[in-house]
Structure 1
Amino acid sequence: MTAVLSQTPATAKAAPLILLMIIFIDGLGTALLLPMLPMLLDPGDPAGVVFGSAPTAARTAGLYGVLLAGYAFAMMVGAPLLGALSDRIGRRPTLLLAVTGSVAGYALSTWAVSVGSVGSVGLLIAGRLLGGTFAGSVPVAQAMLVQTPDSAMKRIGWVMFAMTAGFFTGPALTGILLAAHTPGASLLLPLQVALTLSVLCLLMAFLLPSTPAPAATMGSSLIRQVLNGFTSPATRRPLFALLWLQIGWNLFYQYLPWMLARQSQTVGSISLLLTVVGIGMCIAFIWVAGALQTRYPAPQIARAAIPVLVVSCALLAATLDNSLALVFGALAAIAYGVAYTALIGHALACEQSSLRGTVLGIAASLAAGAAAVTALLGGIIGVWGNLLLASLSVAALALSWVILLLGRDRDE
């Protein structure tokens, strides 16, 4: 089946904007909850979730990790299955299913805080796991937007821009909503906003035009279809390169504030650098990646962008204590955005269009898995200092480049 949206000219023209709005709201809703997790798990705050027994500091920290990593691991499982399902039953039905699951996850999380009884922690964890499992709306929306390999990088850039903008807007909105929060005051408002936004996503999804029915029913199971997409000789190399790119970048980016704090940087300096990195990624996604695609093939772009990323991250790690960090941070962010988008375009160009949802779902799964693993392991690695953390990050990025170089002849 193809992912081409076929309805009236008006609905077909509005469909990309609707999809990008859904992705933006999904990212905003997900990030909206992150700043308030410490308050939700604070045993001294009556407005948070209720523990069944007196919690220790270790237990509270462990639950915080479970809520963060659990969502990512659930997405790692759910995203490729939803992507593969969209190749079978169509993009729009699968998108509706994914957004409905997200609504249920937010509803369960909101209920967990509102009931205020023993067992609320379990409900909150269940809500996060449910939301993560159905967080496959992004790869399905990507499959609807990416109609041909020629348009892949440009439209994937749009998707990543919408998602990045949502992730940056979410915490800011939470800060506004809870600006006057005091211990014991209600924490429901951000959760209610997230639930309302997810319902809005569902309503917007119903406005999307239908997609063509699958050309034929695939005989293999969904799991087998996902495994075939990952192990296919055509897609294996760009997907493996993407995995190591994500591991390297996440390890560096997630612990960048920690590394800066070790250099005695102020909160203002840390926020400024992270803002510059965010702006750099947005520029790469919305403009640079698409502009490069019009001149060069995706594999060539990826092979050029990753070395720039490697060098930029190394120089950024070496200049965290001075203003040059802003320059290298911006350069690293742009290089990452271009490399990520190019690798997705490379993988899509290697696979038939009827399996586009499967490939994009696998890519989302790899990104979620890399984020979860680096979040858990980075703290252990970081104990040994910034040098080891930055070195392993750069090594992972370099490995991504080597994987691409091994198949250079087949790409040309």
Structure 2
Amino acid sequence: MKNVLLIASACLLGILSTVGASLPYPILPPLFANAAAGDSLTHFLGLPPKLLFAIALMVNPVGLLIGTATLGSLSDRYGRRPLLLTTALGAALGHMLTAWALAIRSYPLFLLARFCTGLLEGNGSIVRAMLAERLQGMLRNQALSWLNGSFYLGWLVGPLLAGLTIGWGLTVPFYVAAGFLLLGALLVTLALEREVKPAGAAWWQVARERHAFNLLRHPGLRTLFGVQLAYTCGVTAFYEFYPLWLVEVGHYGTRAISLANVGMCGVMTASSLVAGRQNRDDPLRRAAWLAAVVALAIATLGTGKLWIGLVGIVAFGLPHAFYNAIVQVWAADRFSDHGQGAVMGLLSTTFCLANIVMAAVGAVLTLVDTRLVLVLGALMTAWSATRMRAWARVPASDPATDPGRDGGAAQ
């Protein structure tokens, strides 16, 4: 019963932590693509609306990058409960600030609010670490897979919530998101036991000395970081710019984008329910094959054909769900000596860094053609598939040649 409550609490927190982050995806593209002249939000400093849109996409992942790089390690030190409670309450305030910025049409305040919200919503690594350290064997594999499904469900519910509530006003979805996060804070209070804060270094010293990027000193984790960064660059290019692609190619509005997102995230959520099952095949070989399929799905948008792109958008969810389940479980097993919070934080941080990189690249490429950034993303994911395939061929029994065998892990 204790494990059931733990898994249920983690999955609910996973949903709540991504609902707010995914809200702007169907809201911002129509807002900036159909910007009216003179609007201080969409024509800030006279800059092109597409450029402002790309910056608006990038600032939230910048906050996420900092949050995910430090929150996992801080929770290793100070406990999961206080960090989850603080971040949930803070993110709720961030969404309220976002709504206010939209109401007064302030682009700088909007950026600040999205940055702060991202900083505090980088708590997914804490939830993953909580499951990875308290569960074992097949149950842990399934729990991490179900948690992934909860994150995917949040990406479904957020845009769907935006589509259903946008009719009542541009700010309403963000106030609703704040309410969900307050509910998440209540859940943390009820579900997790109070933890005693240990004596020792101040939190900023722990954040500086034990952030996720410190793991890159170890060769195996450096290799994982490079492969995962290439993969997630493709994935984030897809996430960030397929809504804009739908606006330009299919003339979609917020509600239509939300429906397309429902199809994709529905497939991801359903797939995650079975993605954690045991398989005798080499995990890196399976991950490489799945990454290649993900690259193909992203590449369909490069055709510029609406129906082909829609098939690719929905189909993307199946291989991506299985890929995440495989890589997270493999990393939790292989690098557990470094601390589950730090390892899961590195995986989450890689995703955030990819968001920033592709938003910056997309800010330039979309001024020419939105398809360019999508095709580039597909190529990067395909490259990661080839690197994982090569990694899988290295003899796992030889720590000197296998980058996944981190000889310094136990130091």
Choose from 21, 44, 60 the match for 1:30. 21
Deviation digits for residues 142-178 of structure 1 (CA, Å, limit 9, x no counterpart): 1112234655543332222212222222232233223
Q: Which residue of 1 aligns with 2:150?
A: 162
Structure 2: how far apart are the matches of 1:218 and 1:359? 21
Describe the SS at the equivalent of 2:47: helix
Q: In structure 2, do the counterparts of structure 1 residues 215 and 179 end up closer, same or farther at CA, with 3 Å as the change threshold?
A: closer
Q: Which residue of 2 aligns with 1:228?
A: 214
Q: In structure 2, do the counterparts of structure 1 residues 62 and 210 end up closer, same or farther at CA, with 3 Å as the change threshold?
A: same
For 2:265, the aligned partner's letter is G
Choose from 185, 207, 225 the match for 2:190. 207
Q: Which residue of 1 aligns with 2:176?
A: 193
Q: Which residue of 2 aligns with 1:307?
A: 292
Q: In structure 2, do the counterparts of structure 1 residues 172 and 259 end up closer, same or farther at CA, with 3 Å as the change threshold?
A: closer
1:368 aligns with 2:357: no
Structure 2: how far apart are the matches of 1:313 and 1:191? 29
Q: Which residue of 1 aligns with 2:401?
A: none
| Aligned residue pair count | 387
Q: Which residue of 2 aligns with 1:83?
A: 72
Q: In structure 2, do the counterparts of structure 1 residues 173 and 395 end up closer, same or farther at CA, with 3 Å as the change threshold?
A: closer
| Within-5 A mapping of 1:7-406 | 9=1, 12-37=3-28, 55=44, 57-58=46-47, 63-112=52-101, 116=104, 121-146=107-132, 147-148=135-136, 150-181=138-169, 187-210=170-193, 221-225=206-210, 226-259=212-245, 265=250, 267=252, 274-287=261-274, 289-291=275-277, 293-314=278-299, 316-317=300-301, 321=305, 328-352=312-336, 355-382=339-366, 385=369, 388-406=372-390
Q: In structure 2, do the counterparts of structure 1 residues 66 and 352 end up closer, same or farther at CA, with 3 Å as the change threshold?
A: same
Equivalent residues of 1:149, 1:345 under 8 A apart = no
Question: Structure 1: which 5+ residue stretches go unaligned?
Answer: 1-8, 182-186
Deviation digits for residues 155-214 of structure 1 (CA, Å, limit 9, x no counterpart): 332222212222222232233223255xxxxx4433322222221111111112338879
Q: In structure 2, do the counterparts of structure 1 residues 39 and 324 end up closer, same or farther at CA, with 3 Å as the change threshold?
A: closer
Structure 2 length as normaliser, TM-score? 0.78
Structure 2: how far apart are the matches of 1:156 and 1:132? 22
Q: In structure 2, do the counterparts of structure 1 residues 385 and 278 end up closer, same or farther at CA, with 3 Å as the change threshold?
A: same
Structure 1 length as normaliser, TM-score? 0.78
Deviation, 1:65, is 3.8
Q: In structure 2, do the counterparts of structure 1 residues 349 and 156 end up closer, same or farther at CA, with 3 Å as the change threshold?
A: same
Q: In structure 2, do the counterparts of structure 1 residues 89 and 249 end up closer, same or farther at CA, with 3 Å as the change threshold?
A: same
Structure 1: how far apart are the matches of 2:241 and 2:111? 24
Describe the SS at the equivalent of 2:287: helix
Q: In structure 2, do the counterparts of structure 1 residues 149 and 353 end up closer, same or farther at CA, with 3 Å as the change threshold?
A: farther
Structure 2: how far apart are the matches of 1:13 and 1:196? 25
Deviation, 1:405, is 3.2
Question: Structure 2: which 5+ residue stretches go unaligned?
Answer: 398-411
Equivalent residues of 2:148, 2:324 under 8 A apart = no
Deviation digits for residues 261-292 of structure 1 (CA, Å, limit 9, x no counterpart): 66x546499777654433332233222x213x
Q: In structure 2, do the counterparts of structure 1 residues 180 and 188 end up closer, same or farther at CA, with 3 Å as the change threshold?
A: closer
Equivalent residues of 2:291, 2:381 under 8 A apart = yes
Q: In structure 2, do the counterparts of structure 1 residues 302 and 231 end up closer, same or farther at CA, with 3 Å as the change threshold?
A: farther
Structure 1: how far apart are the matches of 2:196 and 2:221? 25
Equivalent residues of 1:71, 1:129 under 8 A apart = yes
Deviation, 1:27, is 1.6
Q: Which residue of 1 aligns with 2:405?
A: none
Q: In structure 2, do the counterparts of structure 1 residues 296 and 278 end up closer, same or farther at CA, with 3 Å as the change threshold?
A: same
Deviation, 1:256, is 3.5
Describe the SS at the equivalent of 2:322: helix
Structure 1: how far apart are the matches of 2:215 and 2:304? 40
Q: In structure 2, do the counterparts of structure 1 residues 73 and 324 end up closer, same or farther at CA, with 3 Å as the change threshold?
A: closer
Deviation, 1:229, is 1.8
Deviation, 1:327, is 5.3
For 2:208, the aligned partner's letter is I
Structure 1: how far apart are the matches of 2:18 and 2:225? 23
